[in-house]
Structure 1
């Protein structure tokens, strides 16, 4: 699995994730460099989406 690459600012990506997955909180979306899998796991747990679908959505933002 490659490192998650974020285009633009993380705040913009967070906003889009919250729009798509309304159940996500700010705590779910805390991003720490080097802990991309942990972030994807939190989002996956809350949304039921696959990590690859979440990764793809974030990279499209």
Structure 2
């Protein structure tokens, strides 16, 4: 998968991310921009989760949405 495919993939899934984690802002989404580690970090920050909990939620989201980074 090349950079353009990842970027397009992310644009398609941004809405599902915001549905799942409504506290994430548009600015957060710009920072995340398809970077998994940034998503985990922003979830930790906005929801006050431990890293393991945020990671677990992202894994669950990836599985449910068949998302590939």
- Scaled by the length of structure 1, the TM-score of the pair is 0.56
Unaligned runs of 5+ residues in structure 1 are: 1-5
Unaligned runs of 5+ residues in structure 2 are: 1-5
Structure of greater relative contact order (alpha carbons < 8 Å, 6+ residues apart): 1
Higher helix share: 2
Matched residue pairs, number? 53
Kindly name which structure, 1 or 2, has the bigger radius of gyration based on alpha carbons: 2
- Scaled by the length of structure 2, the TM-score of the pair is 0.52
Please provide the CA RMSD for this pair: 2.6
